[in-house]
């Protein structure tokens, strides 16, 4: 997804803009650019390719980044939506006079109509982007007040935006606005920053302000004036970032993804910390803001999510039904928002989203609210849009997840869903003993993960053995079915191998036609209910000469003779088993992708947070 950075303050802005873009690289992009207000004008530098190339180009203009004349500027990394990746399509975009520069995330739905209208007024368009209409529109609306000009322009716009605007006539001002694409303000000392993602500015300040949809702000080095798009003043609280900027660094790991795989014991520890009440044999999730009686009234749960978060939700479905006895459905968020879902007054809609910014999941939240559901979020990013619009929920506290392929978010989401199921169950028919047992099991999760991480070298050997395969199947039953889906998604995302996750019983209903010697099957055969049936499925695969890699529980004496390779998983119950098992699958995918020389942290075509439909 595109990234935005802006700075106005006491220091020359170029190095801050470039550093901010570097921290946003993980989001995926194809070109980058910046604009600096200096010498009564705007200087822009843009190029396709990496931020490093932009830095080199900028060095040609400013040989010493610390001694430039510009103290206000904006910058952008572009993930092409309208117009191919090119220097001319890279942001910032300027108006004809060169006085206004705009960087923009989102999609202007009525840009063609606006472009024709502006062309009729003599504007000359240089790019194929929708964004360029904004720079010309703002210029046309400008009568001396930058905030008013941007407000007037945005009132003509349909679509989504997170944007920042600078003007050569206002060397210490940036105007920002958001509708459907996040923008956060960093509150510094005699300096103010803006970004589309906290990680771009966390090294400069931990005090941030999240804009809501249709908020705008005029920022200067020492002031922040927030209004809505109707020009009415609004107040937004200053939030405190709860993690250190080093958490957004690789800290010696080759890739962010590997770091985030290995930090899962700590991440899950953070998710469960302070939320297990052994004396009452239940979980404590005050962020849900639900009284026990309100919780007891919930008679159906709908989980709305995308991608990995949906796979976590599919695991949670088993928890809510098996542990808490609550009918539960998992909906692809994109489908939920359009299919006129049935929502009753006692339905809870749970939006699972690591970033809290996924457009389809956010839209599902809004649809659920319109239908009167009890809405809650399960998010990792504090202050994210979904977290704020649900108004209640559970934060993962997993720290920033930079790798595009989600890892610790999944294990923390599953752990949080398990705690939620215990809480709901203990408010219903779950007895104290069962509650205590599950609480004890949840407490063991970080240790179980660590045991699998300690086996990484064995998993790496297996990965290298199968790295040349072009097709994989992942199969499982019960909670291990969505775990298989997640394993397949990981492999697809980072190794570009075609991998399918399937319920083990489904193979014989068609997919088994694809099995042959060059198609490995990863079978999740942990020693939990359904294992014997998975063993039978393994035999079916072996009969078609597919090599089988099984995950199996330590001490399983039968498995080795049935399969080519075994990934050993420590003993644990069927509820907890998805977590250590998925860590093994994350490692398997990582080592295969690395063996294939793939770009692991920023896989082709992918973005970390899909903030467009
Ligand atoms: C997972 O590896 C992918 N990056 C993607 O499927 C992701 O899980 C999905 O886009 C949902 O993101 P969210 O959790 O931030 O809503």
Q: Tell me how far apart the alpha carbons of residues 524 and 550 are, in angstroms, rounded to a whole number.
A: 6
* Pocket mutation for ligand 1, best pick of 309, 312, 405, 609 (most atoms within 8 Å of C-beta): 309
Name the percent of the chain lying above pLDDT 70: 98
CB 174 within 8 Å of CB 8 = yes
Q: Is 355 in the pocket of ligand 1 (CB under 6 A)?
A: yes
Q: Is 406 in the pocket of ligand 1 (CB under 6 A)?
A: yes
What pLDDT, on the 0 to 100 scale, is given for residue 231? 87
Tokens of 486: 């997640």
Write the residue with the smallest CA distance to atom 5 of ligand 1.
307
* Pocket mutation for ligand 1, best pick of 384, 406, 492, 501 (most atoms within 8 Å of C-beta): 406
CA of 338 to the centre of ligand 1 (A): 20
What pLDDT, on the 0 to 100 scale, is given for residue 18? 97
Q: Where does 90-206 show beta strands of DSSP type E?
A: 93-94, 100-105, 161-167, 174-179, 184-187, 191-195
Q: Is 610 in the pocket of ligand 1 (CB under 6 A)?
A: yes
All structural domains of the chain, each given as residue ranges with its CATH number in brackets, are 2-243 (3.60.20.10), 250-450 (3.40.50.10490), 455-613 (3.40.50.10490)
CA of 587 to the centre of ligand 1 (A): 18
CA of 10 to the centre of ligand 1 (A): 38
Q: Average pLDDT for residues 154-170, to the nearest whole number? A: 95
Q: Is 306 in the pocket of ligand 1 (CB under 6 A)?
A: yes
- Per-residue pLDDT tens for 241-294? 877 767 677 777 889 999 999 999 999 999 999 999 999 999 999 999 999 999
CA of 307 to the centre of ligand 1 (A): 5
- The yes-or-no verdict on residue 30 having pLDDT over 90 is no
7: buried, middle or exposed (CB in 10 Å: 19+, 13-18, 0-12)? buried
- The yes-or-no verdict on residue 85 having pLDDT over 80 is no
Q: Is 486 in the pocket of ligand 1 (CB under 6 A)?
A: no
* Pocket mutation for ligand 1, best pick of 303, 307, 408 (most atoms within 8 Å of C-beta): 307
Q: Is 379 in the pocket of ligand 1 (CB under 6 A)?
A: no
Q: Is 196 in the pocket of ligand 1 (CB under 6 A)?
A: no
CA dihedral 426, 430, 431, 432 (to 10 degrees): -40
* b/e code 214-240 from CB counts within 10 Å (16+ = b): ebbbbbbbeebebbbbeeeeeeeeebe
pTM: 0.78
What pLDDT, on the 0 to 100 scale, is given for residue 605? 82
- Per-residue pLDDT tens for 13-28? 999 999 999 988 876 6
Write the residue with the smallest CA distance to atom 9 of ligand 1.
307
Q: Is 307 in the pocket of ligand 1 (CB under 6 A)?
A: yes
Known catalytic membership, residue 2? yes
CA of 379 to the centre of ligand 1 (A): 11
- The yes-or-no verdict on residue 542 having pLDDT over 70 is yes
Q: Is 132 in the pocket of ligand 1 (CB under 6 A)?
A: no
The Cβ of residue 506 has, within 10 Å, a number of other Cβ atoms equal to 13
Q: Is 611 in the pocket of ligand 1 (CB under 6 A)?
A: no
- The yes-or-no verdict on residue 82 having pLDDT over 80 is no
CA of 311 to the centre of ligand 1 (A): 10
**Of these residues, 99, 173, 206, 608, which one is catalytic?**
608
What pLDDT, on the 0 to 100 scale, is given for residue 613? 74
604: buried, middle or exposed (CB in 10 Å: 19+, 13-18, 0-12)? exposed
Known catalytic membership, residue 371? no
């Amino acid at each position: 997804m595109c990234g935005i950075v802006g700075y106005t303050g006491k220091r020359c802005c170029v190095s801050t803009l470039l550093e901010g873009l570097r921290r946003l690289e993980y989001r995926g992009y194809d070109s980058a650019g910046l604009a600096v207000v200096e010498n009564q004008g705007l200087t822009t530098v843009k190029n396709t390719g990496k931020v490093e190339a932009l830095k080199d180009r900028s060095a040609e203009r400013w040989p010493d980044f610390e001694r430039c004349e510009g103290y206000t500027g904006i910058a952008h990394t572009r993930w092409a939506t309208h117009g191919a990746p090119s220097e001319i399509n890279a942001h910032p975009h300027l108006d004809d006079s060169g006085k206004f520069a705009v960087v923009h995330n989102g999609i202007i739905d009525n840009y063609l109509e606006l472009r024709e209208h502006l062309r009729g007024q003599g504007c000359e368009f240089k790019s194929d982007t929708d964004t360029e209409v904004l720079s010309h529109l703002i210029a046309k609306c400008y009568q001396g007040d930058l905030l008013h000009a941007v407000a007037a322009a945005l009132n003509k716009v349909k679509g989504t935006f997170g944007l920042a605007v600078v003007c050569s006539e206002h060397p210490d001002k940036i105007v920002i606005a958001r509708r459907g694409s996040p923008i956060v303000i960093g509150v510094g000392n005699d300096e103010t920053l803006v970004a589309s993602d906290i990680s771009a500015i966390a090294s400069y300040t931990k005090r941030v302000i999240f804009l809501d949809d249709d908020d705008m702000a005029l920022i200067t080095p020492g002031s922040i004036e927030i209004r809505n798009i109707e020009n009415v003043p609004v107040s937004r609280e200053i939030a405190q970032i709860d993690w250190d900027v080093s958490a957004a660094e690789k800290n010696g790991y080759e890739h962010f993804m590997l770091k985030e795989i290995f930090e899962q014991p700590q991440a899950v520890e953070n998710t469960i910390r302070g939320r297990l009440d052994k004396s009452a044999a239940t979980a404590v999730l005050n962020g849900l803001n639900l009284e026990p009686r309100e919780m007891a009234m919930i008679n159906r749960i709908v989980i709305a999510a995308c991608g990995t978060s949906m796979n976590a939700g599919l695991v949670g479905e088993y928890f809510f039904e098996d542990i808490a006895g609550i009918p539960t459905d998992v909906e692809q968020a994109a489908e939920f928002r359009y299919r006129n879902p049935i929502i009753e007054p006692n339905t809870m809609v749970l939006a699972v989203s690591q970033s809290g910014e996924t457009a389809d999941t956010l839209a599902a939240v809004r649809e659920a609210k319109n239908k009167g559901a009890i809405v809650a979020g399960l998010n990792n990013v504090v202050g994210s849009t979904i977290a704020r619009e649900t108004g209640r929920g559970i934060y993962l506290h997993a720290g920033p997840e930079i790798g595009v392929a989600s890892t610790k978010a999944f294990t923390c989401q599953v752990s949080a869903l398990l705690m939620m199921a215990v809480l709901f169950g203990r408010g219903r028919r779950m007895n104290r003993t069962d509650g205590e047992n599950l609480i004890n099991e949840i407490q063991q999760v970080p240790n179980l993960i660590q045991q699998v991480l300690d086996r990484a070298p064995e998993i790496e050997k297996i990965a290298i053995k199968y790295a040349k395969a072009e097709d994989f199947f992942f199969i499982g039953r019960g909670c291990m079915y969505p775990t298989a889906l997640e394993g397949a998604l990981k492999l697809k995302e980072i190794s570009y191998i075609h991998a399918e996750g399937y319920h083990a019983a489904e193979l014989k209903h068609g997919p088994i036609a694809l099995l042959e010697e060059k198609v490995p099957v990863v079978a999740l055969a942990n020693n939990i209910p359904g294992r014997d049936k998975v063993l039978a499925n393994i035999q079916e695969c072996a009969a078609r000469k597919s090599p089988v890699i099984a995950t199996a529980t330590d001490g399983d004496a039968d498995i080795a003779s049935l399969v080519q390779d075994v990934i050993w998983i420590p003993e644990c119950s069927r509820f907890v088993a998805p977590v250590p098992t998925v860590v093994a699958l994350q490692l398997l995918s990582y080592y295969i992708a690395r063996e294939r020389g793939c770009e692991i942290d920023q896989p082709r075509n992918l973005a970390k947070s899909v903030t467009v439909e």
